[in-house]
């Protein structure tokens, strides 16, 4: 062992980098020959001496905005370019995989970072929608075999964990938001009821009744008397969470002869609510915007339709 005090000294054999690391590491191949053949491995690959716990801690730090402020995180967690694949986009520094839940059709973006050095691979997968992280470290002399096994394990974890997180998110949404809310002003006949719709085709929160100063607001926009709510901007640190509602009812009138939707009919049916954000304003605010007030446990205690500016507190 060299006596050099500089761990990055290129004259020092790589295999002697830190003896204590080998006692808790999986070493592939011959340590002396394989590692000594490329002294740049530990210099260029921060994850080569990492652990699953380290990577998970790093990922949680990103999602919790403890490593960067929330504004920087918002810029970081965005696609930079699309690819030829509908299920893959490129970020900086991310490889973004779009997972489609086979039961609900819901799309979940997985922000991943894959790294390889010598006989080693590392995967970190961030799931911002559910504030979840998992990571994989693997080792194999054969790069082809290592990639195949690593991707297979990642597939298995994704297929298991994302639907589970989706179901848990639904249970939490049901517990925290479903209720009837009534105006704090006794002179106003204003109330709103939020339910959880369990149907796979429209699973999530919805407004089943909405009366504003005696007027039935749902009769104006919704044929099926139900407005689906989609998360817009969460600000849980300040006890707020905003949702946008779908005023346009889902329709099957665009189905082709084989029962499918064409690309433009499909995007209109599924994205019309986002394409028409604030399309129906009142007093400078969109009728589709609702803001919940949350308590310290994340449970909604009040709701305010932005357009009517009527605070309604949880009644039941």
Whether the Cβ atoms of residue 240 and residue 294 lie closer than 8 Å to each other:
yes
pLDDT: which is higher, 116 or 131: 131
Q: Which of 43-47, 150-154, 231-235 bottoms out in mean pLDDT, i.e. has the lowest?
A: 43-47
Measured in Å, how far apart are the chain's first and last C-alpha atoms? 71
pLDDT value at residue 173: 93
pLDDT value at residue 292: 97
Burial tier of 152 (Cβ tally within 10 Å: 0-12, 13-18, 19+): exposed
Residues of the chain with CATH 3.40.710.10: 45-171
pLDDT tens readout for residues 251-276: 555 556 666 777 787 777 777 777 77
What gap in Å lies between CA 246 and CA 235, rounded to an integer? 21
pTM: 0.78
Fold of 45-171: Beta-lactamase (3.40.710)
Q: Is the pLDDT of residue 250 over 60?
A: no
pLDDT: which is higher, 3 or 70: 70
Whether the Cβ atoms of residue 40 and residue 152 lie closer than 8 Å to each other:
no
pLDDT value at residue 9: 41
Task: Give percent of the chain above pLDDT 90.
Answer: 37
Average pLDDT in the chain: 80
What gap in Å lies between CA 192 and CA 305, rounded to an integer? 9
Q: What letter does residue 253 receive in the DSSP assignment?
A: T
pLDDT value at residue 264: 81
pLDDT value at residue 119: 76
pLDDT band at 34 (very low <50, low <70, confident <90, very high): low
Sorted by sequence, the CB contacts under 8 Å of residue 72 that are 6+ apart come out as: none
What gap in Å lies between CA 274 and CA 246, rounded to an integer? 8
pLDDT band at 25 (very low <50, low <70, confident <90, very high): low
pLDDT value at residue 18: 46
Return the sign of the alpha-carbon dihedral for residues 16, 17, 23, 24. Answer: negative
pLDDT tens readout for residues 128-178: 999 999 999 888 777 788 888 889 999 999 999 999 999 899 999 999 999
Q: Which of 106-120, 170-184, 202-216, 242-256 has the highest mean pLDDT?
A: 170-184
In this structure, the strands spanning 227-235 and 204-212 are antiparallel
What gap in Å lies between CA 110 and CA 99, rounded to an integer? 7
């Amino acid at each position: 062992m060299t006596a050099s005090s500089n761990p990055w000294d290129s004259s020092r054999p790589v295999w002697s980098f830190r003896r204590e690391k080998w006692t808790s590491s999986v070493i592939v191949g011959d340590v002396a020959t394989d590692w000594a053949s490329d002294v740049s491995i530990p210099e260029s690959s921060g994850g080569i001496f990492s652990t699953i716990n380290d990577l998970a801690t790093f990922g949680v730090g990103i999602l919790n905005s403890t490593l960067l402020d929330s504004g920087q995180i918002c810029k970081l967690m965005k696609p930079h370019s699309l690819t030829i694949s509908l299920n893959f986009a490129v970020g900086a520094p991310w490889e973004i995989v779009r997972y489609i839940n086979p039961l609900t059709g819901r799309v979940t973006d997985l922000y991943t970072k894959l790294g390889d050095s010598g006989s080693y691979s590392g995967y970190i997968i961030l799931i911002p929608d559910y504030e979840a992280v998992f990571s994989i470290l693997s080792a194999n002399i054969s790069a082809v075999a290592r990639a195949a096994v690593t991707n297979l394990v990642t597939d298995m974890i994704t297929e298991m964990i994302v639907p589970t997180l989706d179901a848990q998110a639904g249970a939490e949404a049901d517990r925290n938001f479903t209720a009837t809310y009534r105006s704090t002003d006794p002179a106003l006949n204003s109330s709103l009821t939020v339910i959880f719709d369990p149907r796979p085709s429209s699973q999530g929160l919805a407004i089943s009744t909405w009366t504003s100063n005696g007027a039935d607001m749902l009769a104006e926009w919704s044929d099926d008397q139900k407005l689906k709510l989609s998360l817009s901007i969460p600000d849980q640190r300040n006890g707020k969470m905003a949702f946008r509602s779908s005023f346009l009812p889902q329709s099957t009138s665009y189905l082709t002869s084989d029962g499918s939707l064409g690309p433009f009919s499909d995007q209109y049916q599924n994205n019309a609510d986002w394409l028409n954000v604030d399309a129906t304003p009142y007093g400078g605010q969109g009728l589709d915007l609702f803001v919940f007030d949350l308590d310290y446990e994340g449970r909604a205690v009040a709701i305010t339709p932005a357009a009517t500016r009527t605070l309604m507190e949880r009644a039941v």
